Amino acid sequence: MATPLIDDLKRLYRMTWWALMLRGLFSVAVGVFIFARPLDSVAAFALVIAFWALFVGMVDVVHAFQLREAMRHWWVMLLAGLFGIGFGIAALIYYPALALTFAVVWVAWWLTLTGCLGVYAALQLRRLRLDWGWPAAFGTLSVIAGVIALLAPPLTLAAIMGLIAGFAILGGIVLVGGAFKLHAIAH
């Protein structure tokens, strides 16, 4: 016999698994593109990151509103989404006039702030006794990458691009796996 709480969780999982799937698939595609075309990627770096931030930000905003009844701190995901959208818009407005160094600094701040928000979200997941290890690990990696990029922007362009590509692929795979897990639990 299912309890109302379990029924509510299953309904929530059915409603939200798609967000993980879309975010994961898009992240993998971005990472593969950067690794496959490294020289072309340097020229398109700011544009690719802008569209990625816009897409992930919009998915996070929608996902946050879907979770507001189930999570007390749903606003953290909303804030991360709004920050991603803001970053994406700024990157498009100033493209291509800004130097790649400035784009790296923007990415560094984006990585640092969304990483901090990711770690905070992971702590909230831990309070709910949900899987929180991977979100905490990726949030921490994001913060570390952002700090390194801030310390040496011109020298870390290639490293940041590789990190973003690797992060996108690995994070995307984890998100797709999580989406399949949520989908299976819900059904």
Per-residue pLDDT tens digits for 92-151: 887 754 556 567 777 788 889 999 999 999 999 899 988 899 999 999 999 998 888 888
* C-alpha dihedral sign at 74, 80, 83, 89: negative
Per-residue pLDDT at 143: 94
Per-residue pLDDT at 17: 81
Average confidence (pLDDT) over 146-159: 78
Mean pLDDT, the chain, as a whole number?
Answer: 84
Name which of 133, 135, 130 is nearest 118 in CA terms.
135
Asked if residue 45 has pLDDT above 70, the reply is: yes
Question: Is residue 172 a contact partner of residue 26, using CB atoms and an 8 Å limit?
Answer: yes
Average confidence (pLDDT) over 79-92: 88
